Amino acid sequence: MIKEIQIRITLEEERIEDILLQKTKQKLGALADGITGIKVLRKSIDARKPLIIFNYKVAVYINEALPEASEYKFDYKDVSNAKEIHIVGFGPAGMYAALRCVELGYKPVVLERGKKVQERRRDLRAINQEHFVNEDSNYCFGEGGAGTYSDGKLYTRSLKRGDVRRIFENLVYHGATDQILVDAHPHIGTNKLPNVVKNIRETIIKYGGEVHFETRVTDLIIKEDKIRAIQLLDGREMSVNRVILATGHSARDIYELLHKKEVALKAKSFAMGVRVEHPQEIIDNIQYHCTGERNELLPAAAYSLVHQVRDRGVYSFCMCPGGFIVPAATANGEVVVNGMSPSRRNNKFANSGIVVEINAEKDLFKYEQHGVLKGLEFQKDLERLSFTAGGRSQVAPAQRLTDFVEGRLSTDLNPTSYQPGLKSSPLHSLLPKAIGGRLRKGFAAFGQKMNGYYTDQANIVGVESRTSSPVNIPRKENLEHPEVTGLFPCGEGGGYAGGIVSAAMDGERCAEAAIIGL
């Protein structure tokens, strides 16, 4: 017999594992003597009131053994001599498209413009220390994509797009901690993800797939409305039958290539803003109703905020407790910031994107001459502005939060986790009013919602511009492009995902669609 029950434990009750067993027995009454094991299915923290509660959902096994293995099996086949599916990009969408191809008996041939996960480190160091951006190897491009070195949060709302649990189980299969299977807001961590990504690549190669690094696609050969070949930067041309395009939201050259070839695209709404960085202790004190250091049983506190300002949402995005702000530019001459956290989330700062909705139909009238690429050009302009304001390097323009809202230049700035450095800049006047004005009202409102959030101890850092793709590559119900047979737009780059898990699920779906009729 298996029974599922809910258990609530307060922070003041020590020895949580012992208390969990004790309370489980109390709930089961006469059945308690037959308990043969307890499996935690879900755990979360409720810190909305001063009395902090740990919530557990557990499966109790009564007079039967706990299962020794996961119910999920990954049956990878030898595909060395199988029919080929070409996959452009090796981020979450590309990786999971490749894994699914192997499961289904087809050979994935992956073309990734960037480097292997370990080799990317040198190029990240160059951005942080030398302010030089390798346009093919950076925080966005390379093995594992943008997710590898930008946090590894696995929270998703895309529960109807596929089997979320399957993605989590596969990550555990490839080396992620099994805690992601039970945590309400699962997170692998920037320090742990590279090994998981490497293991996924090794699985693909072990079973006969191919993964080619430093292999940038420069052209798609389309004849009679069908994709026939891929042109590479080194001059090679590869004949193809099916192509899964999983290039991510920052592969601007791909959008420009498709637009030049008159392949149908659509302008897409997105969001832009800044990163805000507080001392983690401030966020802990607000969220846990405490002063000083938080209890060691509690993780670094996170938050989620949203406020409507003049018919547009202002909201927190990719909140990183105990994390770092990192330079996410993909070309020299631009400054872009993002956030990440290590697995222990033990850095002394908390950062989050605070962004404003940009409606592609209503907010970009000054960019209409760029057609479907108007959002992309708007992004570029703000990133160039940020580069200039920071001093024409990867130093980022910044301002104390209170100075930004109150419209004055900061005479000095708070300490920061952003390694290239900050320069005091009047972001309140530099940002377009559609963004800056809404951010100022949004921050003031957030200060009302979280007492202590609005403080001169926080910096805002510009710009957070790569929240999602400003371009959609359309596709039919069968996930194929409506005009180009054999082309399957996929993941964040196509406009069909918003994070690691949703991109991975979309990659699997595209693999399943691409093999039909092959």
- CA 307 to chain CA centroid, Å, is 22
Out of 63-67, 118-122, 417-421, 454-458, pick the least confident.
63-67
Residue among 191, 163, 161 at smallest CA distance from 176: 191
Domain of 24: which CATH number?
3.30.70.2700
332 lies in some domain: yes
Mean of pLDDT over the chain: 94
The pLDDT value recorded for residue 160 is: 60
68 lies in some domain: no
Residue for token pair 């502005």: 385
Distance (Å, rounded) from C-alpha 224 to C-alpha 489? 19
SS3 category, 340: strand
Q: What's the pTM?
A: 0.95
Domain of 261: which CATH number?
3.50.50.60
Distance (Å, rounded) from C-alpha 453 to C-alpha 447? 5
Q: Are residues 259 and 274 in the same domain?
A: no
H or E, element range at 398: strand 396-400
Number of domains in the chain: 3
473 lies in some domain: no
The pLDDT value recorded for residue 70 is: 85
The pLDDT value recorded for residue 14 is: 61
Distance (Å, rounded) from C-alpha 495 to C-alpha 511? 17
Inform me whether the pLDDT recorded for 186 exceeds 70: yes
Helix intervals (H) in 44-119: 92-104
Q: How many residues does the chain have?
A: 518
Q: Sign of torsion, CA 173 178 181 186?
A: negative
367 lies in some domain: no
199 lies in some domain: yes
Strand 324-327, strand 217-223: pairing: unpaired
The pLDDT value recorded for residue 159 is: 56
Q: What does the pLDDT look like over 79-95, one tens digit per residue?
A: 999 999 999 999 999 99
Question: 114: pLDDT confidence band, cut at 50, 70 and 90?
Answer: very high
Q: What is the mean pLDDT of residues 359-388?
A: 98
79 lies in some domain: no
Task: Give residue 281's domain range.
Answer: 269-361+380-464
Residue among 251, 249, 253 at smallest CA distance from 268: 249
Phi, psi (degrees; rounded to nearest 5) at 516 = -65, 125
390 lies in some domain: yes
The pLDDT value recorded for residue 151 is: 63
Residue among 381, 393, 456 at smallest CA distance from 423: 393
Q: What does the pLDDT look like over 302-349, one tens digit per residue?
A: 999 999 999 999 999 999 999 999 999 999 999 999 999 998 899 999
Instruction: Say which DSSP state 400 is in.
Output: E
Question: 158: pLDDT confidence band, cut at 50, 70 and 90?
Answer: low
